[in-house]
Amino acid sequence: MADLHLGHDHDHGHGHSHDEPLTEPPPDVALRVKALESLLVEKGLADTGAIDAIVDAYETKVGPRNGTAVVVKAWTDPAYREWLLKDSTRAIASMGYIPEQGEQMRVLENTGDTHNLVVCTLCSCYPWAVLGLPPVWYKSAPYRSQAVADPRGVLQQFGTELPEDVEVRVWDSTSEMRYLVLPQRPAGTDGWTDEQLAELVTRNSMIGVEKAQTPELAR
């Protein structure tokens, strides 16, 4: 079962098949950036490997670090978790993570009965303050349509298999409201330090396409 929570009116007719992979040719702006990058590399002013490493670090490490801190605090501090779920924007701001555009935040808790998945069907609204740069696939038309039409199929593409009795809720981000998934804390992590727990939290688990890593995978 999938439940879509819409944040704005829009048309899902993107003019492509819903079974496309979650990649697509970069849009015009991305092509211009790529052309500029190629020119800089050609003139010896930049190194492709170095650029890729910086972008990857910001997307997968530096960017999601704030969100990871929020998740770990929610896992280890019951009072904070309760506040976070009740008043997400203020609870997150208390840690110094304040959206620059004034948008509101809502944290969605995954449980044994419910799994949350975040998308922006209209464009690419994303919780920059806690997750940094959005991944390319999040902005792609295939993901934006498939997440609504076939959320379980999308999860499977990321290797996430859920029991049939788990409800999948799809949340549609807007310019006024952004979402952050609070993944379930993996079993077998009692007594772990914040640093150890942080290793289990990934950007994808805070978007909802994956679960938090298990202790076995994190080692």
Q: Compute CA distances 92 → 85, 96, 179, 200, whole Å.
A: 10, 7, 12, 20
Candidate list 17, 38, 88, 124, residue with the active-site label? 124
Residue found by looking up tokens 């959206």 in the block: 99
DSSP state of 169: E
Calculated CA dihedral for residues 208, 111, 186, 75, nearest 10 degrees = 90
Rg (CA), the chain: 18
Q: Is 124 a catalytic residue?
A: yes
Candidate list 38, 94, 125, 140, residue with the active-site label? 125
Q: Is 205 a catalytic residue?
A: no
Candidate list 88, 120, 140, 173, residue with the active-site label? 120
CA distance 105 to 97: 11
Q: How many CB atoms lie within 10 A of CB 56?
A: 11
- Joined tokens for residue 128: 């920059």
Give φ, ψ of 132 to 5 degrees.
Answer: 70, -140
Asked if 208 and 151 touch (Cβ cutoff 8 Å), the reply is no
Catalytic residues, which ones? 120, 123-125
